[in-house]
């Protein structure tokens, strides 16, 4: 870990300014991912701006019948919120499928969206990694890639976004609210939030330097049955090989997004329109153009079968 | 004490303290955080400096330049030690590869430097400032490739002679067998993944060094540290009173102890070192991957006539094979046999012992193959195993097992588990979306005799103290040693002070190979016999008819309290147990049976264990609760190795890719359902005066086979490539979409 300086921000614009104006500065909230990465020098910030005093810890109803989740609401609190459990059960299910109780107590909503990939080559500073060190190459390509991406990846990087919460939020059409150093606010649909790697795998999201997440809003509830099917070798405390977040209506229509397969929660609206035709039809469209490796080609049939499991349960 | 004839009646048979379910006497210290582990000897050592070990970034080649100037100039840094300035170092007897690399590099993450600083954070930050240039060399990282030209290797009971082990004419009998299988299984490299990392704290006093470390075998580590540092053993003291898990990874001297000693010498300060978790998998040893071929031939009634087990593994030059075929010499009958092990030279990190070396991967293959054979014969797998039981060493039919109740283990387990409900036809039981199956495997592991010494003191205050370099690696050694001394001297275990893990104490068996408990307590028994004689002598009793019971020493109608006997000054009994002959005349082994029920998600192929039972026959059980803990822990490890554990090899870079606990998965609570353990009531008089045998590894041997067989019974898909992760059977499961 490199030595770094630290400050606790008192208001959001000051926090954004503190990061925007200083190269090597980063926000820290729960720190559950950032600190681990700093210890092994995958992340080497020179300055940390702690945002935990900024409030942003409430879940409030919005005028149009949705919910506004403060950026600092912990994963535990979000999953346990009565309204979330009742109206957005897919979100609760996704959150409790991730990490461990201790981590969820500390991890924030915004931080969860910003967690970095778990690619083993990203974690080992002896290995080439375009995401960690732009232009150095990608040791994962041609290496051990069982856990890595099958779609939306590039010849620069085949890592995945590893989270669960965001997959459920993608199904719910969440919107990410931010503020920047000039005090400008913007709303970013989650569909546009995580980038595909392309030739800039070091950039995980569309956030500009110093742009601070203040909240995530959920539109009004969708109704229907909510599912989060997370497939993994170990029963708990493991990243998804494939996960399926789905909201299925009584008429068989619905929404579905996949986790563990791409640089972002993978939802293809044209594919989910095929839900009434069954899982195979949906995944055939959703994963059109997939480029799996030998190690992770199983994720294609697995995604189909995991969705089939959800659809069978929905029919109940 | 020489143990060369079967044990007769002795004070342990009383079983008033031994054999009772005694909770750990060190439990309160551990759960309150007061038991000091290697990194925590703050009472003995004030303000140590912190050492951070740096590992090689390449697997094979040479360091062409190592610039330490930036690190040395970093805040708080006291010293940096590399091979260049460490002085001449020897290599220990037990490690294959040197523990400080450079300029030649032997494997990935081999230690190449230690940075010592005032704080841990300063040491770690400065470690990142070392500038190292390498010249990579081509390494051998592919086991499949290596085995194409691998030579025969020795191992196991046949010693180190590199030859095939043959009985009868295997090829002929196999060729003529009406029913046969010829199958290949693979197991991957495994990491010990113990909780406590490798850690040591070193303090120099003049030309002597004291090292607190985390080590299973004090005498081996002591000798090898002295040899590595080029010092006489008398100038080196090694202490390891508490060990947070080892599983064989801490059998030997490792880099933490060497680097702590070198760092402390250079810094002229006590130094403590803990290996960072991401370095452990590649820096330390691991259980080597195996490729195994098993051939079994039988008559139609299920009598095995031919059995062959061949295993190949790899290791660093000068290393040894994973003896995965060894148990097949002894487990089942059959007149024609072939056992062979081959060893490829690889430049992956050093392979070495991990819990139940040999049997753990060997029985994952053998017991699954037995299941395949039973199915081919149309026999129940329990009945097939029972049919091929042997009460003698198949290679030497006049050599009996000292005690062998494998059949009773299988029968008892079958009854208790409800085996009769198992459907022979695979894929025929469903519970909602789950395909449900049951599997069985034999458990087998040899018991090893090891010389083991102890010293027992009766203080003038009447307190009994045991001193031995035996270690407690979470197994319960403290408690069973207290129970043994308590039984021998007629006091409750709580009144015995046990001091372990110090090279200034008598050399014991140490902890490994499931030889610790039985041998170390036998050593304590021997020392207690000496102390009992001294007590009798002081009291003027005839030592032959003295009893020690409830704090009293009694001879005929004379009686005195043990406390009184100590009053005239401390009495000391010191001895060691030594073995001769019985393990040649008899095969001394431990036996068991594992029963497992699994569910396989018919959609996703995910496997979840539903319940497990182990029945063990391992001689006298010294402490049923700590023995049970050993067995359920081993069963858990068996689930891990069957379903998820695999060090993934990157054959381009020669390293284990998933070198942290997020990516090398071991089971968590949610993976482990109901477990049960039954111990058969046994006492093996050929083993030692305790009449006890090993138990710590038996619980692991066969678990993998039982889980694999249950999966097959659930799905009808046989996976022969461990771990059985979902992609290996997914597309052969029933259609769902």
What is the pLDDT confidence band of residue B159, given thresholds at 50, 70 and 90? Answer: low
Q: Nearest by CB to A236, which of B125, B668, B736?
A: B668
The pLDDT of residue B302 is 98
Supply the mean pLDDT for chain B: 97
Are the beta carbons of B328 and B334 closer than 8 angstroms? no
Interface residue B260 vs chain A (CB under 8 A): no
Contact B278 A123 (CB under 8 A): yes
Q: Least CA distance to A281: which residue of chain B?
A: B737
How many angstroms away from the CA of A258 is the closest CA of chain B?
A: 14
| pLDDT at residue B157 tops 70 | no
Nearest to B679 by CA among B735, B621, B608: B621
> Mean pLDDT lowest for which of B142-156, B328-342, B574-588?
B142-156
How many DSSP H helices and E strands does chain B contain?
17, 33
> B124 vs A301: CB contact, 8 Å cut-off?
no
With tokens 């010389």, the residue in question is B451
Amino acid B689: pLDDT: 98
Q: What is the pLDDT of residues B375-422, one digit of tens each?
A: 999 999 999 999 999 999 999 999 999 999 999 999 999 999 999 999
| pLDDT class of B604 with cuts at 50, 70, 90 | very high
Phi, psi at residue A65, to the nearest 5°? 90, 10
B293 touches chain A (CB under 8 A): no
For tokens 């797998």, the residue is B381
Kindly list the residues from chain B whose CB atom is less than 8 angstroms away from the CB atom of residue A42.
none
pLDDT at B487 over 70: yes
Q: Which residues in chain B touch residue A40, judged by CB atoms under 8 angstroms apart?
A: 276, 278
The tens digit of pLDDT for each residue in B232-250 reads 999 999 999 999 999 999 9
Render pLDDT for B643-702 as a digit per residue (tens, 0 to 9): 999 999 999 999 999 999 999 999 999 999 899 999 999 999 999 999 999 999 999 999
Residues in B closer than 8 angstroms to A278, CB to CB, are 737
pTM for the model: 0.98
- Other C-beta atoms within 10 Å of A63: how many? 6
Among candidate residues B582, B726, B554, B698, the one with its CA nearest the CA of residue B635: B698
**Residue B297 β-bridge partners:** B180, B306
Chain B interface, mutation test: which of A36, A121, A124, most B Cβ atoms within 10 Å?
A124
Cβ–Cβ below 8 Å for A124 and B124: no
Closest CA in chain B for residue A143? B650
User: Is B697 among the residues known to form the active site?
Assistant: yes
pLDDT in tens, B60-70: 999 999 999 99
Which tens digits make up the pLDDT trace of B201-226?
A: 999 999 999 999 999 999 999 999 99
* Confidence band, pLDDT 50/70/90 cuts, at residue B161: confident
The pLDDT confidence band at residue B154, using thresholds 50, 70 and 90, is confident
CA pair distance B266, B49, nearest whole angstrom? 11
List domains and CATH numbers for chain A. Answer: 5-52 (3.30.43.10), 225-315 (3.30.390.50)
Equal CATH topology for B2-35+449-580 and B42-138+200-275: yes
Q: Which CATH class for the B2-35+449-580 domain?
A: alpha beta
In the CATH scheme, what is the code of domain B42-138+200-275?
Answer: 3.30.365.10
- pLDDT for B156 equals 53
Task: Report the distance separating Cα B52 and Cα B273, nearest Å.
Answer: 6
Q: Does B383 touch chain A (CB under 8 A)?
A: no
Chain B contact set for A232 (CB, 8 A) = 606
Question: How many degrees, rounded to 5, is the angle at CA B733 between CA B729 and CA B735?
Answer: 140
Residue B128 contacts A, CB cutoff 8 Å = yes
- pLDDT bin (cut points 50, 70, 90) of residue B602 is very high
- Give A221's contacts (C-beta < 8 A, 6+ positions apart): A65, A66, A87, A88
> Given this model, what pLDDT does residue B155 score?
64
User: What are the structural domain ranges in chain B?
Assistant: 2-35+449-580, 42-138+200-275, 396-447+588-737
Q: What is the DSSP string of B463-516?
A: -EEEE-S---SSS-HHHHHHHHHHHHHTS-GGGEEEE-SBTTSPP---S-TT-H
Inspect the interface and report whether the beta carbons of B671 and A234 lie closer than 8 Å.
yes
Interface test with A, best of B120, B435, B604, B648 (most A CBs within 10 A): B604
Please give the CATH topology (third level) of the domain spanning B396-447+588-737: Aldehyde Oxidoreductase; domain 4 (3.30.365)
- Do B626 and B26 form a contact (C-beta atoms < 8 A)? no
Res A284 pLDDT > 60: yes
How much of chain B exceeds pLDDT 70, in percent? Answer: 99
Whether pLDDT at B463 is above 60? yes
Measure the CA–CA gap between B169 and B330, rounded to whole angstroms: 17
Query: For residue B158, is pLDDT > 70?
Result: no
Q: Looking at beta carbons, which residues of chain B come within 8 Å of A123? A: 278, 660, 663
Do the beta carbons of residue A241 and residue A259 sit within 8 Å? Answer: no
Of the candidates B663, B670, B730, the beta carbon closest to that of A235 is on B670
Q: Does B726 touch chain A (CB under 8 A)?
A: yes
pLDDT band for position B162 (cuts 50, 70, 90) = confident
């Amino acid at each position: 870990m490199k030595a770094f300086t630290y400050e606790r921000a008192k208001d959001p614009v000051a926090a954004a300014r503190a990061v925007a104006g200083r190269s090597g500065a980063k926000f820290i909230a729960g720190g559950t991912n950032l600190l681990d990465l700093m210890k092994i020098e995958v992340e080497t910030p020179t300055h940390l701006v702690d945002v935990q005093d900024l409030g942003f810890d409430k879940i409030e109803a919005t005028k149009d019948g949705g919910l506004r989740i403060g950026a600092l609401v912990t994963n535990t609190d979000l999953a346990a919120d009565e309204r979330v459990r009742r109206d957005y059960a897919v979100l609760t299910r996704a959150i409790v499928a991730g990490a461990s109780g201790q981590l969820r107590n500390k991890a924030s909503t915004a931080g969860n969206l910003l967690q970095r990939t778990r690619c083993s080559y990203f974690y080992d500073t002896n290995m080439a990694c375009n995401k960690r060190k732009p232009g150095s190459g990608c040791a994962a390509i041609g290496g051990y890639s069982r856990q890595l991406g099958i779609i939306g990846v590039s010849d620069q990087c085949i890592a995945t976004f590893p989270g669960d919460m965001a997959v459920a939020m993608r199904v719910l059409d969440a919107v990410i609210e931010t503020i920047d150093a000039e005090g400008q606010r913007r709303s970013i649909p989650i569909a546009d939030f995580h980038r595909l790697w392309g030739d800039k795998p070091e950039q995980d999201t569309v956030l500009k330097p110093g742009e601070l997440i203040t909240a995530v809003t959920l539109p009004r509830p969708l109704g229907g049955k909510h599912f989060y099917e997370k497939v993994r070798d170990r029963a708990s405390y493991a990243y998804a090989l494939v996960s399926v977040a789905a909201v299925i209506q009584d008429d068989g229509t619905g929404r579905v997004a996949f986790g563990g397969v791409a640089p972002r929660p993978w939802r293809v609206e044209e594919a989910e329109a095929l839900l009434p035709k069954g899982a195979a039809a949906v995944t055939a469209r959703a994963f059109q153009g997939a480029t799996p490796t030998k190690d992770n080609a199983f994720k294609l049939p697995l995604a189909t079968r995991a969705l089939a499991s959800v659809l069978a349960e929905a029919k109940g | 004490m020489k143990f060369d004839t079967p044990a007769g009646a002795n004070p342990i048979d009383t079983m008033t303290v031994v054999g009772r379910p005694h909770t750990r006497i060190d439990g309160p210290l551990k759960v309150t955080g007061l038991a000091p582990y290697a990194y925590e000897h703050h009472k003995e050592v004030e303000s140590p400096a912190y050492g951070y070990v740096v590992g090689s970034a390449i697997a094979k080649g040479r360091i062409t330049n190592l610039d330490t100037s930036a690190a040395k100039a970093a805040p708080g840094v006291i010293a940096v030690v590399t091979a260049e300035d460490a002085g001449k170092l020897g290599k220990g007897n037990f490690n294959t590869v040197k523990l400080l690399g450079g300029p030649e590099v032997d494997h990935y993450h081999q230690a190449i430097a230690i940075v010592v600083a005032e704080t841990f954070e300063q040491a770690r930050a400065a470690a990142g400032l070392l500038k190292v240039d390498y010249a990579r060399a081509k390494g051998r990282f592919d086991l499949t490739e290596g085995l194409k030209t691998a030579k025969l290797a020795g191992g196991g009971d046949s010693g180190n002679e590199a030859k095939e082990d043959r009985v009868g004419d295997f090829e002929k009998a196999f060729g003529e067998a009406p029913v046969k299988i010829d199958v290949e299984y693979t197991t991957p490299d495994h990491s010990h993944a113990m909780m406590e990392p490798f850690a040591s704290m070193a303090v120099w006093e003049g030309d002597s060094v004291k090292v607190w470390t985390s080590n299973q075998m004090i005498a081996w580590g002591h000798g090898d540290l002295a040899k590595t540092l080029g010092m006489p053993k008398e100038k080196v003291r090694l202490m390891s009173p508490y060990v947070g898990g080892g599983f064989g990874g801490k059998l030997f001297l490792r880099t933490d102890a060497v680097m702590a000693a070198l760092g402390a010498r250079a810094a002229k300060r006590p130094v403590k070192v803990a290996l960072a978790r991401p370095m452990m998998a590649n820096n330390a040893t691991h259980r080597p991957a195996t490729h195994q071929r098993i051939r079994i031939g039988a008559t139609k009634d299920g009598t095995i006539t031919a059995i062959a087990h061949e295993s190949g593994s790899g290791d660093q030059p000068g290393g040894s094979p994973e003896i995965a075929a060894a148990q097949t010499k002894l487990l089942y009958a059959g007149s024609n046999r072939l056992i062979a092990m081959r060893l490829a030279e690889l430049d992956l990190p050093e392979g070495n012992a991990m819990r139940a070396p040999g049997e753990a991967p060997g029985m994952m293959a053998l017991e699954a193959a037995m299941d395949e054979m039973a199915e081919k014969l149309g026999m129940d797998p329990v009945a097939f195993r029972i049919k091929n039981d042997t009460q003698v060493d198949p290679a030497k039919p006049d050599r009996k097992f000292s005690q062998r109740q494998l059949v009773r283990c299988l029968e008892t387990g079958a009854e208790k588990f409800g085996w009769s409900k198992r459907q022979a036809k695979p894929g025929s039981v469903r519970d909602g979306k789950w395909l449900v199956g049951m599997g069985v495997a034999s458990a087998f592991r040899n018991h090893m005799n090891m010389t083991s010494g102890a010293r027992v003191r009766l203080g003038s205050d009447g307190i009994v103290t045991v001193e031995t370099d035996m270690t407690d690696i979470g197994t319960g050694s403290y408690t069973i040693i207290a129970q043994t001394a308590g039984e021998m001297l007629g006091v409750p275990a709580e009144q015995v002070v046990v001091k372990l893990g110090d090279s200034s104490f008598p050399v014991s068996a140490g902890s490994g190979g499931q030889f610790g408990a039985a041998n170390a307590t036998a050593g304590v028994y021997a020392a207690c016999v000496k102390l009992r004689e001294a007590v009798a002598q002081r009291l003027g009793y005839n030592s032959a008819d003295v009893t020690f019971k409830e704090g009293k020493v009694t001879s005929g109608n004379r009686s005195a309290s043990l406390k009184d006997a100590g009053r005239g000054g401390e009495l000391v009994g010191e001895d060691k147990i030594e073995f001769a002959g019985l393990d040649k005349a008899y095969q001394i082994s431990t036996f068991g049976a594992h029963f497992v029920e699994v569910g396989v998600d018919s959609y996703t192929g995910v496997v979840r264990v539903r319940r497990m039972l182990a029945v063990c026959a391992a001689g006298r059980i010294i402490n049923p609760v700590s023995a049970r803990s050993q067995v359920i822990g081993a069963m858990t490890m068996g689930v891990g190795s069957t379903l998820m554990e695999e060090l993934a090899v990157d054959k381009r870079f020669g390293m284990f890719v998933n070198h942290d606990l997020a990516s090398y998965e071991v089971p968590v609570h949610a993976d482990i359902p109901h477990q049960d353990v039954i111990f058969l009531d046994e006492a093996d008089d050929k083993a030692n005066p305790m009449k006890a045998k090993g138990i710590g590894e038996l619980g692991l041997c066969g678990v993998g086979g039982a889980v694999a067989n249950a999966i097959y019974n659930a799905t009808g898909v046989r996976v022969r490539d461990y771990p059985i992760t979902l992609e290996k059977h997914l597309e052969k499961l029933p259609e769902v979409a």
